[in-house]
Amino acid sequence: MGKWVEVARKDDIAPDSATCVQVGDLRIALYRIGEDEFYATDDVCSHDEASLSEGWFADRYIIECPRHGARFDVRTGKVVRMPAAYPVRTFPIRIDGDRIFVEVNEEEVDG
Ligand code: FES
């Protein structure tokens, strides 16, 4: 079952940047696109486990992995440039005022 977990405040992430949050055993990359769009994916690159939140935007919705340059669409998790072959997981986001929530599976988090 899905569980919504508060992970950050909007102001924790500058526009057009990313940050990493820990939810249970999950490392999740949170992206802020412009002022008001937020997305979340696995922070762990599907190629060789680099941290996607330490990457940079190659285009508006495209994060580039800092290690070997694979690119992912943060909206879908899909690979748009090799060497990654597999997508990264995405997480639903909910914004409540200034607070950002991410939906994970209940069994992935304590309590
Ligand atoms: S670890 Fe991300 S492209 Fe290799």
Is residue 48 over pLDDT 80? yes
pLDDT of residue 109: 85
When divided into structural domains, the chain yields a total of: 1
pTM for this predicted structure = 0.95
Is residue 110 over pLDDT 80? no
Confidence of residue 74 (pLDDT cuts 50, 70, 90): very high
pLDDT digits (tens, 9 = 90+) for 17-39: 999 999 999 999 999 999 999 99
**29 C-beta closer than 6 A to ligand 1:** no
**80 C-beta closer than 6 A to ligand 1:** no
CATH of the domain at 89: 2.102.10.10
Atom of ligand 1 nearest to the CA of 66: 2
Residue nearest to atom 4 of ligand 1 (CA): 68
Domain that holds residue 80: 2-108
Is residue 111 over pLDDT 70? no
Q: Per residue, what are the HEC states of the chain?
A: CEEEEEEEEHHHCCCCEEEEEEECCEEEEEEEECCCEEEEEECECCCCCCEHHHCEEEECCEEECCCCCCEEECCCCCEEECCCCCCCCEECEEEECCEEEEEEEHHHCCC
